[in-house]
Amino acid sequence: MTIRLIKITSLSLMLWLFMTIPTSAQPENEEVLDSTGSPLESGQKYYIRSDVTDFGGRVTLKNRNGSCPLYVGQETIDIGQGLSVIFTPVETKDTVVKVNRDFKVKFSASSSCGQSTEWKLGDRDNRSGRRLIIAGSDGSLFRILKTQLGIEGVIGNYNIRFCPSATVNCGTVGNLRENGKILLALDGNVLRVGFEKA
């Protein structure tokens, strides 16, 4: 009985340690892969989609309240549609997007608000208490991390995280459902994503 309890406790401790691996422990030279197994190339167009069925569709721009700025959100259905994005690594020598490295992301579309479509961390929402992602100039830095629940042999299973090197106020991108719309936000659920070349 005592040996069995020790084994269960040891297994639980190992699982807990595995699930709490900090972002700094993730490799920085590993390439982020698209749905075909090819690395995400800087300057190329990609769709970002939820890796979980019925958790929203591809990423797009959303008009939250009838005025500008536009918000980064998801289509409500998980087939087609959405807007493609372009990733730009901060390290100018990087020609592909790498795990746990800073990058900027911008929609490859224009905005009806006449603003940049670069992703930017917005203010904290008063109702939900979550930080929303908006479109605007002077975009924020994001990182892509492999999820801790990745399935061996399955391409995808990534999270997008706001955690540039110079900040401690990190957060992982999830979604927030509001008035029939899906907005991307930090400080709540976590959105597992994959990437498709446009």
What CATH number should be reported for the domain holding residue 156? 2.80.10.50
Residue 19 maps to a domain:
no
What's the mean pLDDT when you consider all of the chain?
Answer: 84
How close are the terminal C-alpha atoms of the chain, in Å? 57
Whether the full predicted model's pTM is greater than 0.85, yes or no, is no
Range(s) of the domain holding residue 147: 29-197
Q: Which DSSP state fits 152?
A: T
Residue 15 maps to a domain:
no
The residue among 118, 103, 104, 106 whose CA lies nearest residue 69 is 118
- Label residue 92 left, alpha or beta by phi (over 0 means left) and psi (-120 to 50 means alpha): alpha
Residue 181 maps to a domain:
yes
pLDDT (mean) for 79-89: 92
Q: What is the rounded distance in angstroms from the CA atom of residue 193 to the CA atom of residue 4?
A: 38
Residue 22 maps to a domain:
no
Name 11's Cβ contacts closer than 8 Å, sequence gap at least 6: none
What's residue 155's pLDDT?
57
Q: What is the rounded distance in angstroms from the CA atom of residue 45 to the CA atom of residue 85?
A: 5
Residue 6 maps to a domain:
no
Q: What is the rounded distance in angstroms from the CA atom of residue 108 to the CA atom of residue 119?
A: 12
Query: H helices within the chain, ranges in order?
Result: 2-19
Tokens of 188: 């709540």
Q: What is the rounded distance in angstroms from the CA atom of residue 71 to the CA atom of residue 127?
A: 16
Tokens of 99: 């795990």
Query: Number of structural domains, the chain?
Result: 1
Residue 121 maps to a domain:
yes
**Mean pLDDT highest for which of 55-69, 75-89, 95-109, 156-170?**
95-109
Whether residue 14 has pLDDT greater than 50: no
Residue 12 maps to a domain:
no
Residue 135 maps to a domain:
yes
For residues 150 and 63, the model is more confident at 63
